[in-house]
Amino acid sequence: MKKMLPGFALLRFITIFLVLSYFVPGTQARAGVRVGKTVYYSGRGDYLYIDEDFPRQVRTCLGIIEKSLIEDGLTIENVVKCYVYLDDLDNFPAMNEVYKEFFKKDFPARTTLDTGILPGYEKNGAHVEITVIAYSDLSEKKVIGSPPPGYPFSPGILAGNTLYISGQGDHLPNGDHPATFEEQVRQSLRNVGKVLKEAGIDYNNVVMSHVFLDEEGNNNSAIVNKVYSEFFEYGNEPARATVYVDKLPAGCHVEITCYATTDLSNRVLIRPHSMKYGPGGTAPTASPGVLVGDTLHLSSQVGMHPINGIAAGDLTTQTHQMMQNHLDVLRAAGMGFEDLVTGYVYLRDMKDYRAFNALYNPYFSTNPNVRGATRTCVQDNSGYVKDDVMVTTTFIFAQPEEEKGIKGVKTKWKRTTR
Give me the DSSP letters along 75-120.
Answer: -GGGEEEEEEEES-GGGHHHHHHHHHHH--SSPPEEEEEE-SB-TT
Q: Is 60 helix (H, G, I), strand (E, B) or coil?
A: helix
One-letter amino acid of 259: Y
In the chain, how long is the greatest CA-to-CA distance?
61
- The domains of the chain are located at 30-139, 286-418
- The answer to whether domain 30-139 has CATH 3.30.499.10 is no
User: Which of 116, 205, 129, 127 is closest to 165 using CA atoms?
Assistant: 205
Cα gap 83→42, rounded to integer Å: 11
* pLDDT for the residue numbered 380: 83
User: Which of 297, 185, 168 is closest to 231 using CA atoms?
Assistant: 185
Residue 297 CA, distance from chain mean position: 9
Cα gap 259→267, rounded to integer Å: 12
Q: Which residues have CB under 8 Å from 13's CB, separation 6+?
A: 293, 294, 401, 404
Contact 282, 276 (CB under 8 A): yes
* pLDDT for the residue numbered 17: 37
DSSP-assigned letter for residue 238: P
* pLDDT for the residue numbered 367: 53
Cα gap 128→126, rounded to integer Å: 6
Residue 354 CA, distance from chain mean position: 22
Q: How far is CA 86 from CA 3, 95, 345, 417, in A?
A: 39, 9, 15, 30
Q: Is 202 helix (H, G, I), strand (E, B) or coil?
A: coil
Domains 30-139 and 286-418 share a fold: yes
**Tens digit of pLDDT per residue, the chain (418 long)?**
333 333 323 222 223 334 444 444 444 446 788 999 999 998 888 766 556 789 999 999 999 999 999 999 999 999 999 999 999 999 999 999 999 999 999 999 999 999 878 887 665 568 999 999 999 999 999 999 999 888 999 999 999 999 999 999 999 999 899 999 999 999 999 999 999 999 999 999 999 999 999 999 888 989 999 999 999 998 899 999 999 999 999 999 999 999 999 999 999 999 998 776 655 555 668 999 999 998 999 999 999 877 776 776 899 999 999 999 999 999 999 999 989 999 999 999 988 999 999 999 898 765 555 556 788 888 888 778 878 889 999 999 998 644 443 232 223 333 322 2
Q: Give phi and psi for 203, each to the nearest 5.
A: -60, -30
Does this model's pTM top 0.85? yes
Strands 254-261 and 206-213, by their bridges, are antiparallel
Q: Is 369 helix (H, G, I), strand (E, B) or coil?
A: coil
The count of C-alpha atoms lying within 13 angstroms of the C-alpha of 252, restricted to the half-sphere facing its C-beta, is 29
Which residues in 221-278 belong to E strands, given as ranges? 239-244, 254-261, 267-270
| CATH (one of 3.30.210.10, 3.40.50.300, 2.60.40.2240, 3.30.1330.40) for 286-418 | 3.30.1330.40
**Torsion over CA of 147, 152, 156 and 158, rounded to 10 degrees?**
120
* pLDDT for the residue numbered 256: 98
Cα gap 17→139, rounded to integer Å: 21
**Torsion over CA of 239, 243, 249 and 255, rounded to 10 degrees?**
30
DSSP-assigned letter for residue 251: G
DSSP track, 271-340: --TT--BSTTSSBTT--SEEEETTEEEE--EESB-TTT--B-SSHHHHHHHHHHHHHHHHHHTT--GGGE
Cα gap 351→368, rounded to integer Å: 30
* pLDDT for the residue numbered 114: 94
User: Which of 199, 236, 207 is closest to 294 using CA atoms?
Assistant: 207
* pLDDT for the residue numbered 117: 85
